[in-house]
Copies of this chain bind each other. A is one copy, B any other.
Amino acid sequence: MPSPELSTMLVVLDLVGIFVFSVTGALVAVRKHLDLFAATVLAGVTGLGGGFIRDVLIGATPPAALADWRYLLVPATAGLLTFVFHPTVGRLERVVTLFDAFGLALFCVTGALKAVDYGLGPLPAALMGMVTGIGGGVIRDVLAGRVPVIFEGVLYATPALAGAAVAVVLDRADLSLLVVAAAGFGTCLGWRLLALVRGWQAPMPRGPANV
């Protein structure tokens, strides 16, 4: 049972992660010259979509975000602020990317551990952790009419899968929740930041396209 302080901290971290994901969603809407409503919806699906997919697949319905109004207010606020201040937010892109890596590392761990709680085995649970981290961005890109950016060489999903796998494996070793979460979080965040700094890419197909 986590202490009350830890629980509060987890909710705050969760809301921060949702906020940053939501900002990336609203930025895509503004850049596609979509309207205020699209900015809010893309903020919402980016911030909450990964968790929704996970919860629907593991049978944890209604998703937590539909049972707690704060989880709806945060993306709405992020969408509105981004829509209004988008030139400034756009200039802060590097900061947004940094926080986005933080959100990814957080969600892959919390998503995987929730799947374990619902009785999934290690491999599916790690997969659900990755889905929690990347799902929102994939829905965002599909709704905005573009191929998901995570499919085009960006090293984004692999760190999420790795972080989720580390959390799942350590969780079975009967370590404290904090150690489990920190190890998974650190794995994902470290790998993602290294990929950003060094420009690492996922392997591309050999040879010309359209073979």
Contacts and interface: CB of A to CB of B under 8 A. Distances in A.
A117 interface: no
Interface residues of A, number: 63
A210 interface: yes
B35 A153 contact: yes
Contacts of A35: 151-153, 201-205
A62 B120 contact: yes
A157 interface: yes
Nearest to A65: B124
A127 B205 contact: no
A61 B119 CA distance: 11
Contacts of A198: none
Nearest to A144: B147
Interface of A: 29-39, 41-42, 52, 56-59, 61-63, 65-67, 69, 72-73, 83, 86-87, 90, 118-121, 123-124, 127-128, 138, 142-148, 150-153, 157-158, 201-207, 209-211
10 contacts: A31-B209, A34-B152, A35-B201, A35-B202, A42-B151, A58-B66, A65-B124, A83-B203, A144-B147, A145-B145
